[in-house]
Structure 1
Amino acid sequence: MKQKLLLILMLVSFISVSFAQGTRGDGRAIIVTDVNSLLFSNSSDASEDSGLARTTSSANTNDIDVLRLKQLVTEVQAATYFYGGNVRTFGSEPKSLYTDLASLNQVNGSIALKQHFEIATIRINTASELNSTIDLAAFSNFPNLKYIYIITKLDTTSENIASRITNYDNRFNIIYKLDKGDSNQ
């Protein structure tokens, strides 16, 4: 009985830390979700095995198609990379866009085929970038974009990321990952 209670408390604690919520001045909530809490839980594996598409939702976000998100994050996709003003596209009809925060303001004017993207991955590389704003207006002309995936190796929280976001559009699901990399290399 004690083990079950401890397990439930740990699960509740994990879930409460996984979802951060910030609010803009206009009252719209920004929810930033840890990607690991969505993609690598036992329930997502079980639904994948059964062939069912698992979705998760909140009152303040769109439904997240967990299986599609997992495909976008873990499988090779046609992609466009935009760093330092240079655009490189691999494959036709790219679904994934990769950029960094330093290049974010130029994305809208530099990417021509915006209609195919479903996920945009933004890498935050420095502490000054982590403390600057993440302006989502750069993605206003990407009609099928559903996921903004923020990756950083710096220590941060979902609350900190949510507080940095400006021009939030509720059609986006904001997810993040702390990517410390391999310390042995």
Structure 2
Amino acid sequence: MKQKVLFIVVLVFIYSSVFSQDTKSVQNETIVVTEINSLLASSRTSGSARTIAIPSKNIELQRLNDLVTQVQSSIYFYKSEVKTFGNSPTNLYTDASSLGQINNSITEKQNIEIVTILINTEHELNSVIDLAPFSNFPNLKYLYFIYNVNTSSEYIASHIGHYDSRFNLFYKIDKGDRN
């Protein structure tokens, strides 16, 4: 009887230590957020590859550039209103205040490759950006944050919730100062 109890205790100990290691590795995963203009500019000036590796990720630079700079079929989701332009949209535009409604409001998720999220206020800057709603987008590769307030990649990374390593995260600061 003592041997069975001892055996069970050892098994529980082994399984609990294995589980805690998995949890720890997920919690300690590094979130990389890259400034998009410098990334795309460096690829143009170097005339370099179509693909670049950012810590364990491959990014198709030409495709990313096209998604960000060329007209694409798109969905716009602001203030609970969905507007779709074109067939099989590849881009989704939204803002931080609409993220909680994405899963229930956006039905055409299958072709979306990039989501552009506007961060307009200090309050939105200081809020956690929950990526869980994007887990149901099968072809989503890129999340692109446009900030209308000053920030840094480290600050953005510290405010990402439910990170999914299949996503490449990019940002740009655009306060509308065009002269």
TM over 0.5: yes
Give the AA of the match of 2:103: N
Letter in 1 for 2:83: R
Instruction: Calculate the TM-score normalised by the size of structure 2.
Output: 0.82
- Counterpart CA distance in 2 for 1:64 and 1:95 is 16
Unaligned runs of 5+ in 2: 1-23
Tell me, yes or no, if the aligned pair for 1:44 and 1:67 is still in contact at 8 Å: no
CA RMSD of aligned residues (A): 1.8
Task: Provide TM-score, normalisation by structure 1.
Answer: 0.79
- Flag the 1:42–1:56 CA change in 2: closer, same or farther, 3 A: closer
Which structure features the higher share of helix residues? 2
Paired with 2:142 and 2:43, the residues of 1 have a C-alpha distance of 22
- 1:41 is aligned with what amino acid? S
Q: Which runs of 5+ in 1 are unaligned?
A: 1-22, 48-52
Note the C-alpha offset of 1:63: 0.7
Pairing partner for 1:124 from 111, 119, 123: 119
Percent sequence identity is 54
Among 79, 83, 90, the residue aligned to 2:78: 83
Q: 1:131-181, CA deviations, whole angstroms, 9 ceiling, x for partnerless residues?
A: 000000010100000000000120100111000000000000000000122
Q: Supply the distance in 1 between the matched residues of 2:174 and 2:168 (Cα, whole angstroms).
A: 19
Q: Equivalents in 1 of 2:25, 2:98: separation in Å?
A: 24
Aligned residues: 156
Cα gap change, 1:26 to 1:128, in 2 (>3 Å): same
Cα 1:44–1:108 shift into 2, 3 Å: farther
Secondary structure, in 3 states, of the residue corresponding to 1:176?
Answer: strand
Aligned residue for 1:123, secondary structure, equals strand
